[in-house]
Structure 1
């Protein structure tokens, strides 16, 4: 019985030790955010915009996506922002739409 208990404790200790060694922040992979731009969105009537600023050290592209009430939803043109740059992407819903309900942005 003592040997079984000792073997169980040793097996448990063997699994805990490697886990304790991997909890270092330096070993963790970098956290990637879905969106890295700092953006504000706005809708007025049938139009929607996203105005963004690139606070990163590399170029990032984005475009606005607009929900258009009863009409087809849509997306604006892609805009590429260099580091530190700002830009705007806009979209206007079709005439059959009841208006732009919301706007967000997509990065790619």
Structure 2
């Protein structure tokens, strides 16, 4: 019974966000083939390297979670079908470096 109530609350919450013009939580589906990593000589630099196996153009950017400094995002990179590219971002030097690197991808 509690699980059903939580699902109903999540659906109602998403509907409320959409009715306010706000985005609902994004799905976790990925379409690009990406590798993310921290630069081996600079632990403040996060990198996302992606290829596009799809039949349509996509764009992506690196999303870097920084320790004590504000999080950063890399530049948008547009990939045609079969294309490859890299996006990167640097955490502030007063922080503790890169904690994680993710990818924000969108269809063009």
Tell me the TM-score normalised to structure 2 length.
Answer: 0.68
1:49 is aligned, of 27, 47, 50, to 47
Name structure 2 gaps, 5 residues minimum.
Answer: 1-26
Match for residue 85 of structure 2?
A: 87
Deviation at 1:43, TM superposition (A): 0.9
The alpha carbon displacement at 1:33 in A equals: 6.7
The Cα of 1:96 is off from its aligned counterpart by 1.4
CA distance in 2, matches of 1:99, 1:66: 10
Q: 2:72 is matched with which residue?
A: 74
Aligned residues: 77
Q: For the residues of structure 2 that align with 1:95 and 1:61, how far apart are their CA atoms?
A: 28
Larger radius of gyration: 1
RMSD of the TM alignment (CA)?
1.4
CA distance in 2: counterparts of 1:104 and 1:33, whole angstroms: 12
What TM-score do the two structures reach when normalised by structure 1? 0.68
